[in-house]
Chains A and B, each alone.
Chain A
Amino acid sequence: MLQSWEREYGAPFDGYGQPSRFEQPIMRHFLRPYGDLAPGTGAALTPLEALEGIITPSGLHSIRSHSGTPDIDPQKHQLLLHGLVARPLKYSMPALWSYPMVTRVHFIECAGNSVRNLAPQPLQLPAGAIHGNVSCSEWTGIPLRVLLEEAGLVAEAKWLIAEGADSAHMSRSIPLAKALDDALIALYQNGERLRPEQGYPVRLLLPGWEGNMNVKWLRRIKVVAEAAHTKDETSKYTDLQPDGRALQFTFEMGVKSVITRPSGTMKLPRTGLYEISGLAWSGAGQIRRVEVSVDGGSTWADATLTGEERPKSFVRFRRAWEWNGQPAVLQSRAIDAKDQVQPTRKAWLAQYSRANAYHNNSIVSWAVAADGSVTNVYV
Chain B
Amino acid sequence: MSTYKRLAAAAVAGLLAGCVTQPQPQKAPSLGTAAPAEEVAQLDISIPPTGQGLPPGGATARQGATLYAAKCASCHGAQGGGKPADALVGGIGSLATERPVRTVGSYWPYATTLFDYIRRAMPLAKPLSLSNDEVYALSAYILYLNGIVAEDEAMTATTLPLVRMPNRSGFIDAWEQKR
The residues of A with any CB-CB pair to B shorter than 8 Å are: 33-35, 37-38, 41, 66-67, 80-82, 87-92, 95-96, 98-100, 102, 143, 146-147, 149-151, 161, 163, 167-171, 175, 219-220, 222, 224, 226-231, 234-235, 238, 240, 242-251, 353-355
Which A residues lie within 8 Å of B45 (CB)?
163, 169
Given the complex of chains A and B, what is the CA–CA distance between A268 and B107 in angstroms? 47
Are the C-beta atoms of B102 and A235 separated by less than 8 Å?
Answer: yes
Across the interface, B48 reaches (CB within 8 A) one of A38, A219, A224, namely A224
Given the complex of chains A and B, what is the CA–CA distance between A82 and B35 in angstroms? 8
Which A residues lie within 8 Å of B43 (CB)?
80, 219-220
In the A-B complex, the 6 residue pairs with the smallest Cβ-Cβ separation, listed nearest first, are A244-B96, A89-B32, A244-B95, A249-B175, A95-B31, A169-B120
Which A residues lie within 8 Å of B86 (CB)?
235
Q: How far is the CB of A192 from chain B (nearest CB, A)?
A: 22
A sample of 26 cross-chain residue pairs with beta-carbon separation below 8 angstroms, ordered by A number, consists of A80-B40, A81-B35, A88-B34, A89-B32, A95-B31, A146-B28, A147-B28, A150-B30, A161-B46, A163-B46, A169-B121, A171-B46, A224-B48, A228-B49, A230-B116, A231-B113, A231-B121, A234-B107, A234-B108, A234-B110, A245-B172, A248-B171, A249-B173, A250-B175, A355-B99, A355-B100
Which B residues lie within 8 Å of A240 (CB)?
95, 100, 102
Across the interface, B172 reaches (CB within 8 A) one of A90, A171, A231, A246, namely A246
Q: How far is the CB of A143 from chain B (nearest CB, A)?
A: 7
| Extra pairs beyond A147-B32, A248-B172, A249-B174 (20, CB < 8 Å) | A34-B84, A66-B121, A80-B39, A82-B40, A89-B35, A90-B35, A90-B39, A149-B28, A151-B32, A168-B121, A169-B128, A226-B49, A229-B110, A230-B117, A235-B86, A235-B107, A240-B100, A246-B172, A247-B172, A251-B175
Are the C-beta atoms of B28 and A247 separated by less than 8 Å?
Answer: no
Q: How far is the CB of B96 from chain A (nearest CB, A)?
A: 3
Are the C-beta atoms of A87 and B34 separated by less than 8 Å?
Answer: yes
Which A residues lie within 8 Å of B110 (CB)?
229, 234
- Complex interface residues of chain B between 62 and 91 (CB less than 8 A to chain A): 75, 84-86
Which A residues lie within 8 Å of B99 (CB)?
355
Are the C-beta atoms of B26 and A146 separated by less than 8 Å?
Answer: yes
Given the complex of chains A and B, what is the CA–CA distance between A99 and B32 in angstroms? 11
Given the complex of chains A and B, what is the CA–CA distance between A164 and B30 in angstroms? 23
Which B residues lie within 8 Å of A67 (CB)?
121, 124, 127
Are the C-beta atoms of B124 and A38 separated by less than 8 Å?
Answer: yes
Task: Tally A-B pairs: CB < 8 A.
Answer: 167
Across the interface, A90 reaches (CB within 8 A) one of B32, B50, B113, namely B32
Task: Decide if B18 is an interface residue (CB 8 Å cutoff).
Answer: no
Q: How far is the CB of A77 from chain B (nearest CB, A)?
A: 12
Are the C-beta atoms of B85 and A247 separated by less than 8 Å?
Answer: no
Given the complex of chains A and B, what is the CA–CA distance between A38 and B30 in angstroms? 41
Q: 1/0 per position for B3-34, CB-CB distance to A under 8 A?
A: 00000000000000000000000111111111
Given the complex of chains A and B, what is the CA–CA distance between A168 and B121 in angstroms? 4
Whether A168 touches B120, Cβ cut-off 8 Å, given contacts A98-B31, A100-B27, is yes
Are the C-beta atoms of B171 and A353 separated by less than 8 Å?
Answer: no
Which A residues lie within 8 Å of B157 (CB)?
none
Given the complex of chains A and B, what is the CA–CA distance between A229 and B85 in angstroms? 21
Q: How far is the CB of A169 from chain B (nearest CB, A)?
A: 4
Given the complex of chains A and B, what is the CA–CA distance between A230 and B116 in angstroms? 7
Which A residues lie within 8 Å of B107 (CB)?
234-235, 246
Are the C-beta atoms of B34 and A238 separated by less than 8 Å?
Answer: no
Residue of B nearest to A66 (CB): B121
Q: How far is the CB of B3 from chain A (nearest CB, A)?
A: 22
Whether A238 touches B175, Cβ cut-off 8 Å, given contacts A67-B127, A222-B44, is no
Q: How far is the CB of B30 from chain A (nearest CB, A)?
A: 5
Given the complex of chains A and B, what is the CA–CA distance between A96 and B116 in angstroms? 29
Are the C-beta atoms of B95 and A229 separated by less than 8 Å?
Answer: no
Which A residues lie within 8 Å of B113 (CB)?
229-231, 234-235
Across the interface, B170 reaches (CB within 8 A) one of A146, A224, A244, namely A244
Given the complex of chains A and B, what is the CA–CA distance between A171 and B44 in angstroms? 12
Are the C-beta atoms of A91 and B31 separated by less than 8 Å?
Answer: yes
Are the C-beta atoms of A150 and B28 separated by less than 8 Å?
Answer: yes
Q: How far is the CB of A152 from chain B (nearest CB, A)?
A: 11
Given the complex of chains A and B, what is the CA–CA distance between A102 and B28 in angstroms? 12
Given the complex of chains A and B, what is the CA–CA distance between A219 and B171 in angstroms? 29
Are the C-beta atoms of A99 and B172 separated by less than 8 Å?
Answer: no
Are the C-beta atoms of A171 and B120 separated by less than 8 Å?
Answer: yes
Which B residues lie within 8 Å of A249 (CB)?
173-176
Whether A82 touches B121, Cβ cut-off 8 Å, given contacts A150-B32, A246-B170, A249-B175, is no
Task: Decide if B47 is an interface residue (CB 8 Å cutoff).
Answer: yes
Given the complex of chains A and B, what is the CA–CA distance between A316 and B134 in angstroms? 52
Which A residues lie within 8 Å of B85 (CB)?
34
Residue of B nearest to A88 (CB): B35
Residue of B nearest to A89 (CB): B32
